[in-house]
Amino acid sequence: MADRVRRRLVIEGRVQGVFFRESCRRQAESAGVAGWARNLDDGRVEVVLEGGAGLVEQVVAWCRTGPRQAVVTSVQVLDEEPEGLDGFRAR
């Protein structure tokens, strides 16, 4: 896939204990985007997304609000080289 991209997101706010990782997994799988999500010790969530540029951007846009219970205050987005991830895991 020539337009394959990889984005690393660090999401701040009330994003732990609100099913953010699992909801993100569902969004990514629905869009056909690979990657993973994990809680960080400081209360943030880190997400890596890999796939077609437009599809990844759809999931990035979702991460800016997250699930209903979340309150997202900041999303850092870093571009990285794709690694060929397959599937999505909520760690």
CA atoms within 13 A on the CB side of 25: 12
Listed in order, strand segments (DSSP E) in 15-60 are 34-39, 45-52
Instruction: Please say if 14 is a catalytic residue.
Output: no
- Point out the catalytic residue in the list 39, 68, 89, 91: 39
β-bridge partners, 11: 45, 75
Instruction: Please say if 44 is a catalytic residue.
Output: no
The residues carrying an active-site annotation are: 21, 39
